[in-house]
Structure 1
Amino acid sequence: MKLLILDRDGVINQDSDAYIKSVEEWVPIPGSITAIADLSKAGWTVAVATNQSGIARGYYSLATLDAMHQRLRDLVVAQGGEVGLIVYCPHGPAEGCACRKPRPGMLETIAAHYATHLDGVWFVGDSLGDLQAAQATGAQPVLVKTGKGINTLGKPLPAGTLIFEDLASVAQSLIHH
């Protein structure tokens, strides 16, 4: 199975320090929806692992989060692709859960769902926590320069981290490799 795991905010859609609190605020990064659809059409399973502490903070409801993810699915389907499993961590940073990145829980959930291992599977993110979660599971850390990616470039990155401009360039590399 060709599995690719993506972070959401800053990779698929625009990020905000004020949180993405509504479907209206959920705005795709140019090229990201096409990239997911193209990967899907090329035989890739594209899953999503996203920290969503705005739920714990009371900024938006699970129904709103589900509506955002349905919007993502609808946009990708409209371009002939499909989004696989979407997992999220609804907890705040101080709750000590096993799922909040940089902990590996969400990636392990995706691996169990697809009955596969994560060795070498690309996990695309824009933050150090994303890269550390990838490293903790044996996945390949991949950094995009969208979202918080440029700031993350200034930090010590896990060994072997791959760096791309955006999700569209990741898709091109995987599809034409």
Structure 2
Amino acid sequence: MRYHTHIATSIAAGAGVAIQTDVAFTFPYVVGIAIGSLLPDIDEPNSYVGRRSFGLAKVIKSIFGHRGITHSLLVCGLIFYLYQLYSYEWLFGIACGYIFHVIGDFFSKRGVPLFWPIVRKKIKSPLTYETGKPSEQLIFYIAIGLIIYFLYKYSLYSQLF
């Protein structure tokens, strides 16, 4: 999934979380989601975040490969644990964006190693999309539509500022 699709789907999912729970759809939460939705790709030097990582992406990829540890439930759990220690809205957003990214890649043809390091095999959903193809573009536009719908249907825009 390309970076803009990760951001859009993660913000749409984050809006869904805000609607279904007592989480406020605030600016720090949404910014956290956007950042968190990009972080798992720190293991790919050519990714949006990897190109801005000052060489860290190359190091992570050389050690773990692309879609290795950064796409596992282990790292997702560690980020949620950090949120438990430091209850900041933006950190909760990062944790949510991170897990939404991993879920998004779970639906890709390449899958993700959810149970790394116990099982390194990449698993995927039976229903998949291919990065950069029309199916991903459709997912992006649906996510944008959902964001707009949620913002107005549930007045989430009033919580942003």
Please say whether Structure 1 and Structure 2 have the same fold, judged by a TM-score greater than 0.5: no
Q: Which has the larger radius of gyration?
A: 2
Q: Return the structure number with greater relative CO, CA threshold 8 A, min gap 6.
A: 2
Higher helix share: 2
Shorter-chain TM-score: what band?
0.3 to 0.5
TM-score of the superposed pair, with normalisation by structure 2: 0.35
TM-score of the superposed pair, with normalisation by structure 1: 0.33
